Structure formats: structure tokens, C-alpha cells
Amino acid sequence: MTISHFSAVLLFSLFTSIVFGITQRAEPKKMVRFGALCFALFVGGTIAASWAMWLIKH
């Protein structure tokens, strides 16, 4: 099986955020919010780091 780098980021972020949301909050609504925040930070952080590395190289 082969996937793109971005697909790998999305899958990693999705699964990790679900576990973080469930385990780090006690109420369902807060779990969803925290999971969504983690997902956004994972994906956003990766994109930001990618652009930072591109800028350093160029």
C-alpha cells in the first residue's frame, strides 16, 4: 500500500485526535471540541512546518 505524504498526515491526525479527545476530556461535547482542535493543530502545524522548511531551503 502506498499513500501520499498529505494523506499520511490526515490519517495520523484523525486517529490521534480521536484518542486524545476521548481520553483528555470528560464530557462528550468537550471531547468533540478538543478532538477537532487537536486535528486542526496537527494538520495546521504540519503545513506551517512544511512551509518553514521550504523557506529555509530557498
Q: Binding residues for another protein, per CB under 8 A?
A: 1-3, 5, 8, 11-12, 14-16, 18-20, 22-23, 26-27
Shortest approach of another protein to residue 26 CB, angstroms?
A: 5
Backbone angles phi, psi at 2, to 5 degrees: -130, 135
Helix (H, G, I), strand (E, B) or coil at 27: coil
Measured CA to CA, the distance from residue 53 to residue 43 in angstroms comes to: 15
At closest approach, how far in Å is the CB of 14 from another protein? 8
Q: What's the closest the beta carbon of residue 8 comes to another protein, in angstroms?
A: 5
Name the DSSP letter for residue 58.
-
